Structure 1
Amino acid sequence: MSARVIEVVGIGEDGWDGLAPAARRIVEAADLLVGGDRHLALVPDTGAQRLAWPKPLTDAFDTLDRRSAAGPVVVLATGNPLWYGVANLLVRRFGAERVRVRPQSSAFDLACARLGWAQADVDTLTLHGRPPALIQPFVQPGARLLLLSEGRETPGQVAEVLTRRGFGPSKLAVLAHLGGAEERIVAGTAENWDPGEIADLNVVAVHCRPGAGAQVLSTAPGLPDDAFQHDGQLTKREVRAATLAALRPGPEQHLWDVGAGCGSVGIEWMRAARGATATAVEPRQKRLAMIADNALALGTPGLEIVAGRAPDDLAGLDAPDAVFVGGGVHAGDILPACWQALKPGGRLVANAVTLEGEAALLAWHAEHGGELTRLQVSRADPIGPYHGWRPLMAVTQLTAAKPWG
């Protein structure tokens, strides 16, 4: 017998009473009802066998697959199960054709309704199992954020992040048990946050407001050099902005930052596009620690850091959509290895400041094409009581795009 569709039914704090008649009929027809203990307790006994999620819950997927061939399987989940919910895992495992989702209002929907916020103007994130540092790129003057909490400690951690950035006047609201009889909203400001006892399951709403001395860091490429810890091995701000423009960050795309230094290019790549990922490859131990610190401070804690040298330690890494070579470009085997690893349509960008590095880029260009650019930046510096232009080292930049197909 072929496997049936697995039904995923969203259920809210109002439980059985809040389900539409069609959703109730689906639950009542189930042979196997699956969900967390909290979700299962919200529906009456229908005669179905009940399965509480194990840890990890993916351990139950083979059971769902087998049982769905024998009879209807229904999964209960919170609100809209596609908002950071279990339906995403089920679709990845079984395919969209095997999973039918019946959503309810999500916690984000309900929070916007309570606050009078237009959901189209809100950034939504989950901090469940993720560090609060993830909010850093979204902390901008006037921004509105909705955050799924890890637990009751999360709102205080968010308030601390905001206050350290100089956004202490930001308004916070913690919304718990939305849509249920115990619904509660606690409001305050980040710098004076003291909510008392709050529920583990909550949503944090943030309306970002900068205070005096706030650190405002745009997601547009070209963060100030002093936003990073570094030992001088740093792609300077103006060159970094041009480099990111050539790399063209995109959603869910992956970058190799080879010879990463302090990690500035990989970090800005991840800040520039939602879901973008990066691997920083750097041989020096001291710099590895700086990369990790910078990634956490600037909201990209998921940056993968590899202690190693190219090209030997590139083997086994996820194939990149783009590669930046910022160090060691003079070694003759790095560019070929990176080019070989690139996905079709991928972009290779390499910067050189030494004559040896420039010679390597010229040789590559002569054989493979691409574009060569000379980037020369001067900054105004004091000269006694006056100011004058002080040039930075010129950078030769190679950009090349791998053909599609």
Structure 2
Amino acid sequence: MTTAQTPAPAVVGIGADGWEGLVDSARGTLLDADVVIGGARQLDLLPPEYAGERVAWPSPLRPAVPALLAAHAGRRIAVLASGDPMFYGIGRALTEELGPGAVRVLPHPSSVSHACARLGWPVEDVEVVTLVGRPAARLAAALHDGRRLLVLSADATTPDDVAALLRDRGFGPSRMRVLEQLGGAKERTTTPATADDWPHPPGDPLNIVAVECRRAPDALRLGAVPGLPDAAYEHDGQLTKRHIRAATLGALAPAPGELLWDVGGGSGSIAVEWMRTHPACRAITVERDPARAERITRNAERLGVPGLQVVTGAAPEALAGLPRPDAVFVGGGLTAPGLLAACWDALPDGGRMVANTVTLESEALLADAHRRHGGELVRLAVAHAVPVGGFTGWRQAMPVTQWAVEKTVEPPAGADT
């Protein structure tokens, strides 16, 4: 039965403690709904006295949201979700679809809150990585000695996947625990063990993995800022070297949520380290050589950013149809006709461009671009100490000319300023 003015859809969080763990307002919202939408596991937690319609989410879920809401328009709708619906939950999809003011959210403590309470870990000091519907490789970007991680599991096999990745990335000494059915009658925590010696078979699929990161003594140290060791990358010599890479990322100035075009990807190091600066950073790398494009994909997975998009093709033709970037790095192919102009035209007002070169021909192009568009033109030189007989001297690497600029669109003549 519907009212003349149907209330906004409600999203109700529920924990492993089920119906008994809900507050009265959440129970009343569910019992009053004409239809409750949720996963099969959540719907099974409704009590026998609920007389409305139960609808299970189809798969894939996200594309089905608009049609499912439209099919039940005019009815009192409640959506049942695990824990806090706004923490990697369905609440995000619904608020993005309907607007934040058009959805009522009744959260429940999340599995992260429960886990921190059991472990004695301050929530604000813990990094959360979800592997629900995402590759395990993304965990690698969060591995730093001494950090505490909580990994949201996709299923019962995720803890084994986490242990294997920790071993492969040089973090085998890390201590792991698996917390299952948090907040419910079947709650259980495994005994601690290192990833190197992980003994526990797969258990309950509703689990979260706690990791205390410990780097093996012989493992390569990967910091949290740009300028990873060159040895972190698989490459064929086409690699922006460590010190130049750090200066280049500094000029690009990545910010959360921004998109980078890395044109002439080589080994993909600029795009990889752009994405490692923040989980919300995105990048597309364009590389004409198929073998190098495959190598970029391997480097991205190894270094924890498997979401890096690799486009195999020659620029500027391969740039057509790509989403508009916030920043562009050109590390190769500068002499290709129209390349610089295409990258410049793609940038929005306030977008940044950085281009590096070691050749005189490309340097002349950058000097001309600097004359027309401004910015900063610098030459970066790095020398390494090497043995010279029984002494030590400097070996100079090829200097790199770098043009860095922020695009400013001039207002039309006569426009108000």
Letter in 2 for 1:115: L
- Counterpart of 1:196 (choices 201, 222, 226) is 201
Distance 1:209 1:60 in 2: 41
Identical residues among aligned pairs (%): 49
**C-alpha offsets along residues 157-206 of structure 1, whole Å, 9 cap, x if unaligned?**
11111122222221101111000010011121111101124111210110
Give 2:112's aligned residue. Answer: 108
- Counterpart of 2:252 (choices 215, 229, 247) is 247
Give 1:214's aligned residue. Answer: 219
Give 1:47's aligned residue. Answer: 51
Query: The residue matched to 1:192 in structure 2 has which SS?
Result: coil
1:80 Cα deviation after fit? 0.3
Distance 1:381 1:151 in 2: 52
User: Could you say what the CA RMSD is over the residues aligned between the two structures, in angstroms?
Assistant: 1.4
Letter in 1 for 2:222: L
Give 1:34's aligned residue. Answer: 37
1:333 Cα deviation after fit? 1.2
Between the two proteins, the alignment pairs up a number of residues equal to: 404
Q: How does 1:164-179 map to 2 (within 5 A)?
A: 164-179=168-183
Would the aligned equivalents of 1:3 and 1:65 in 2 still touch at CA under 8 Å?
A: no
1:140 Cα deviation after fit? 0.5
Segments of 5+ residues of structure 2 without an aligned counterpart are 412-417
Q: TM-score, normalised by structure 2?
A: 0.94
Distance 1:13 1:261 in 2: 48
- Counterpart of 2:312 (choices 307, 315, 327) is 307
Query: The residue matched to 1:191 in structure 2 has which SS?
Result: coil
Distance 2:338 2:64 in 1: 44
Would the aligned equivalents of 2:160 and 2:202 in 1 still touch at CA under 8 Å?
A: no
Point out 4+ residue stretches in structure 1 off by more than 3 angstroms: 1-4
Give 1:285's aligned residue. Answer: 290
Moved more, 54-63 or 350-359: 54-63
- Counterpart of 2:80 (choices 73, 76, 81) is 76
Give 1:340's aligned residue. Answer: 345
Q: TM-score, normalised by structure 1?
A: 0.97
1:348 Cα deviation after fit? 0.3
Structure 1 residues 60, 245: CA separation in 2 closer, same or farther (over 3 Å shift)? closer
1:332 Cα deviation after fit? 4.3
Letter in 1 for 2:218: G
- Counterpart of 1:130 (choices 134, 137, 142) is 134
Would the aligned equivalents of 1:4 and 1:98 in 2 still touch at CA under 8 Å?
A: no
Structure 1 residues 2, 397: CA separation in 2 closer, same or farther (over 3 Å shift)? farther
1:60 Cα deviation after fit? 4.7
Distance 1:365 1:60 in 2: 49
Moved more, 159-168 or 184-193: 159-168
Distance 1:236 1:320 in 2: 24
Q: Does 1:25 align with 2:15?
A: no
Segments of 5+ residues of structure 1 without an aligned counterpart are none
Would the aligned equivalents of 1:3 and 1:66 in 2 still touch at CA under 8 Å?
A: no
**C-alpha offsets along residues 67-112 of structure 1, whole Å, 9 cap, x if unaligned?**
24x2210000000011111111112222212222110000100000
Distance 2:64 2:216 in 1: 48
Distance 1:290 1:345 in 2: 32
**C-alpha offsets along residues 271-299 of structure 1, whole Å, 9 cap, x if unaligned?**
01221010010001111111011011101
Distance 1:10 1:304 in 2: 34
Structure 1 residues 24, 126: CA separation in 2 closer, same or farther (over 3 Å shift)? same
Distance 1:150 1:114 in 2: 21
Letter in 2 for 1:377: V
Query: The residue matched to 1:223 in structure 2 has which SS?
Result: coil
Letter in 1 for 2:10: E
1:211 Cα deviation after fit? 2.4
- Counterpart of 2:272 (choices 251, 267, 271) is 267
Would the aligned equivalents of 1:140 and 1:208 in 2 still touch at CA under 8 Å?
A: yes
1:129 Cα deviation after fit? 1.5
Distance 1:3 1:63 in 2: 16
